[in-house]
Structure 1
Amino acid sequence: MTAIPEYSTPRPAGLVGLYRRVISLPERIPFSLVQLAARVAIAHVFWQSAQSKLASWPVTLQLFASEYNLPLIDPAIAAPLATTAEITGAVLLFLGLFSRLGALMLLGVVSVIQIFVFPENWAEHLLWASLLLLVLTRGAGVFSVDYLAERIFRTRA
């Protein structure tokens, strides 16, 4: 059997080569760090939102009754549901525990906010949804309880 010769693409020299090497540097960043940053960033947004709701519950109920004004759901039910979803989703994402479920929950919250509450803030909601979609579609990454649990269960199976 004859060996197939390996041909490598010659590296461009000069400024073109330097440019290609520089723009390829971010590819060396581990994707798990990107996943961790996305989880922590979006968890922080929803944790802060929930904390502001809890800081003054009467004001929160008033906001849900007047400004937020969701259709088909009583403000006395909507406020605790939204707050619970924000706290739970933020904790799950931060820990990387059932991350995809947490991301899905918070995508639901973002959808309600976008459609019924503040549709004019679509760019901010798109940013949130992008981070949540990253976690939903690619998982929590290596720095997560999900990853540890998967490794433990894989070795026992």
Structure 2
Amino acid sequence: MTAISDHSSTSPGGLVGVYRRIIKLPERIPFSLIQLAARVAVAHVFWQSAQTKLASWPVTLQLFANEYNLPFVDPSIAAPLATAAELTGSVLIFLGLFSRLGALMLLGVVLVIQIFVFPENWAEHLLWASLLLLVLTRGPGAFSLDYVAERTFSASGK
């Protein structure tokens, strides 16, 4: 006696095969494109934050003195340090130039914000940290000045 089987659900051309091909489609997205998107997104967040600080410096100083209450750092020092880190980090991340250094700087900013300023906004901070950790651990990708520099210097060293 022969068992009757439905090959349409298990064969490569069957429904399961179609489903498997569909769910694997995102794997065709180049990882460098994902790295670029992460860099642009997180750089934008910190660039905008720095621009807001610079737009009204007296208000920024008041916020650092009265609302943010960072321990161990005078507001007149913390405000320019935070602004410089946001500006520098966002430019480095965006360009993909010394991007791991930029990611590390901005991770420091995120850590300070999370611990001392707005701990209730942990989900937003986790999102920023995730994008920064992607850059820190996997690099900026092929669409970056770091990539160009690495290829240029490795080719000239041969």
Letter of the structure 2 residue corresponding to residue 53 of structure 1: K
C-alpha separation in 2, matches of 1:156 and 1:142: 18
Q: Distance in 2 between matches of 1:16 and 1:152?
A: 46
What letter is aligned with 2:56? Answer: S
Q: Residue type matched to 1:140 in 2?
A: P
Q: What pairs with 1:66-145 in structure 2 (closer than 5 Å)?
A: 66-145=66-145
Q: Which amino acid aligns with 1:102?
A: G
Structure 2 equivalent of residue 151 of structure 1: 151
TM-score computed with the length of structure 2 as normaliser: 0.92
Counting only pairs closer than 5 Å after superposition, residues 3-42 of structure 1 correspond to structure 2 as: 12-42=12-42
Partner Cα separation in structure 2 for residue 14 and residue 63 of structure 1 = 61
Unaligned runs of 5+ in 2: 1-9
SS in 1 for 2:73: coil
Query: Amino acid of the residue matched to residue 12 of structure 1?
Result: P
Query: Between the two proteins, what is the percent identity of the paired residues?
Result: 82
| Aligned residue in 2 for 1:56 | 56
1:24 match: secondary structure: helix
Over 6 Å off, 4+ runs: none
User: 1:11 Cα deviation (Å)?
Assistant: 5.2
Shift in Å, 1:127? 0.1
TM-score, length-scaled by structure 1: 0.93
- Aligned residue pairs, count: 148
Partner of 2:4: none
Does the C-alpha gap of structure 1 residues 66 and 138 become closer, same or farther in structure 2, counting only changes over 3 Å?
same
Distance in 2, Cα, partners of 1:78 & 1:48: 18
Unaligned runs of 5+ in 1: 1-9
The amino acid of 1:105's aligned partner reads M
